[in-house]
Amino acid sequence: MTPLRRQLRQTLTIARRDFTATVFTPIFLLFLFAPVIMASFGAIGGLGAASATQGSVDKARLVVMLPPDAGEAVRDADARLRPLFPGEARPPALDHRAPGPTPRAALHDRNVDVAAVLHGSLSTPAIVYAAGHRREARYLAAVARAAALGAQAHAVPPEAVLERVDDAAPSLGGRSTASFFAVFGIFFLTLFLSGQVVGTMAEERNNKVIEILAAAVPLESVFLGKLLGMYGVAVLFVAFWGTVLSQIGMLLPGDMAGALQDLRPAIGIVPFAILFAAYFTTAYLLLGSVFLGVGAQASTMREVQMLSLPITILQVGMFGLASSAVSHPGSWLATAAELFPLSSPFAMAGQAAGSPRWWPHVAALAWQLLWVAIFITIGARLFRRGVLQSGSAMPAWRRMFTRRRS
């Protein structure tokens, strides 16, 4: 055999070895179908966000509080002007109500999303609108001007007085958008930060450090300690960028800053900040405990890299499930997302932005911390029996049954 032929044969042998070690594994199937799986989860999340936005748009209204004769003129003017706007740019529907002493109260309606209220008369029109809805208020002013021009053709139509109300209650659209951003915020942070936990155990397993730690302290303490250490790194990262991003609002124009104010959570800004931090903590601990247990089974960096794809797919799946849940509050899908341990922090963070109730969050946090303990215990036992080969091969229930028989 010539040297060239021998070298070619050796090269092909190495290539076949690496190809077989990579392809003939169950994880490779997940890698092969990753585009389909991720596209499906992305479609679920996109449909959930679109459903939340569409639901809030359908409930948006422009309220008209004028006498009956002026209301008819406004209705005719709206019928003439509305076709000029294409689909998504079309203003909300008009809602005619009896004139009242406090038109501002209509902005606090929790059944519909009231963007602006026209009150007074066609000779002295006035409009109050919620922050972030100046465009709708201007349309309502144009409708009032057109109605006055039709009713009094010989007179110059007056300009409506616009008044912005900054203390209006969070709108339905604002709550829906805030819910989606809460889910996305936790998803982005956990996707970016929790993946670092996977390689921690594999690296120390290769260096034989884990065996020294396991001989000194219980494995459950090792797993929890590593998880808390990486969580401290994540908190430092979030605190730094949170401080930077919190100052962006000072640089935004007035109208854009007003639109951001409409994204207030239903439970309140300070309680929501506390719950968001709590749910980020439980989401990180839940996903980190799962990833730590999975990464502990990997013996090489190649296996760690192969495991990173299923982990990402799992996180995208939890994001898609929670996004769909916040767009259908109270449905069976929302209940399933809130009860499933890995998606519960995402879904409950969205619920905090959309609902003012407190008691579900206390139960949810206790439920999530329970599963953190379960995942850490399972991961430590699997590592002890599968890697260290120091656990009993007989399950605990069989050992108890054997003792009773003896």
- What's the mean pLDDT in 357-373? 90
Alpha-carbon radius of gyration of the chain:
30
Segment (H or E) for 115: strand 113-120
Q: Tell me, what amino acid is at 217?
A: V
Q: Is the CB of residue 97 less than 8 Å from the CB of residue 129?
A: no
- What's the mean pLDDT in 9-27? 67
**DSSP strand E in 168-262: where?**
none
User: The whole model's pTM is what?
Assistant: 0.65
SS3 89: coil
Q: Tell me, what amino acid is at 94?
A: L
pLDDT, tens digit, 9 for 90 and up, residues 377-404 = 888 787 777 666 554 444 444 454 455 5
Q: Is the CB of residue 145 less than 8 Å from the CB of residue 80?
A: no
Contacts of 381 by beta carbon, 8 Å cutoff, 6+ apart: 219, 391
Query: Which band of pLDDT confidence, cut at 50, 70 and 90, is reported for residue 265?
Result: confident
pLDDT, tens digit, 9 for 90 and up, residues 123-137 = 888 888 877 778 888
